[in-house]
Amino acid sequence: MTDNDEEPSQAEGSGSPIEFYFDFSSPYGYLAAHKIDSIARLYGRAMNWRPILLGVIFKTTGAQPLLDIPIKGPYTRRDMERTARFLGLPLVFPEVMPFPSIAAARAVYWVQDRDPEKARELCLALYDRAFAQGGDIREAGAVLDCAVEIGIDRDALAAALQDPAVKERLKTENEAAMAAGVCGSPFFVVDGEPFWGADRLDHLERWLATGGW
């Protein structure tokens, strides 16, 4: 307890961390990343940022990338742009979508083991490069450029991206995500309750506010 009556208080940090699963190639994941970051702070919850590879998960669920599906593809592109405007966030599509996000995901886990707050910064920087600026973050070089801008050591990260242990780490995380029921991006788990989609942030926020319903 503090003398500050404002609530919810960021300082309290009650409850388990919000698990946030996302693919760097997912525009809805980018939109949700900014929102969940604010929501977590507002409700004083820690967050685990967990990049995943949807392509691997889609092999199990049989899903295709949304933008490639007849009829759904054009609708989805329009919905992504409308949702960005609805949420007040910039959105510029990169040239290639979906794109391979394996280097970005590996980088995040390596940074996270050393400095979780820096990993959060890296996630937002990579997402913004891809979807606020429409940039290309497919190759290791582009990921390293982003990392250097927020003070991460380029050579150490470059070496890590080639490290079999780091590659294995992402594989393990992806398998754990699938085992936890993650079927898309963004996907959240709050106190055991799963929420799939940027369009479930309303449910998630009410869940945090009320403890469930």
Residues in the site for a copy of itself, rule: CB under 8 A? 57, 60-64, 69-72, 74-75, 78-79, 82-83, 85-86, 178, 181-184, 194, 196-197, 199-200, 202-203, 206, 213
For a copy of itself, the closer CB: 140 or 183 = 183
Write the DSSP assignment of 28-51 as a string of letters: HHHHHHHHHHHHHHHTT--EEEEE
- Parallel/antiparallel/unpaired status of strands 18-22 and 187-190: antiparallel
- Treating both helix axes as pointing N-terminal to C-terminal, what angle do 164-179 and 102-114 enclose, rounded to 10 degrees? 100
Nearest distance from C-beta of residue 115 to a copy of itself, angstroms: 32
For a copy of itself, the closer CB: 17 or 194 = 194
For a copy of itself, the closer CB: 14 or 213 = 213
Nearest distance from C-beta of residue 51 to a copy of itself, angstroms: 18
Taking the chain, what is the end-to-end CA distance rounded to the nearest angstrom?
26
Nearest distance from C-beta of residue 194 to a copy of itself, angstroms: 6
Nearest distance from C-beta of residue 43 to a copy of itself, angstroms: 18
State the DSSP code for 16.
P
- Parallel/antiparallel/unpaired status of strands 187-190 and 47-51: unpaired
For a copy of itself, the closer CB: 9 or 83 = 83
Nearest distance from C-beta of residue 29 to a copy of itself, angstroms: 16
For a copy of itself, the closer CB: 164 or 211 = 211
Backbone conformation region of residue 71, classed left if phi is above 0, alpha if psi is from -120 to 50, else beta: left
Angle ∠(105,147,110) on CA atoms, nearest 5: 45
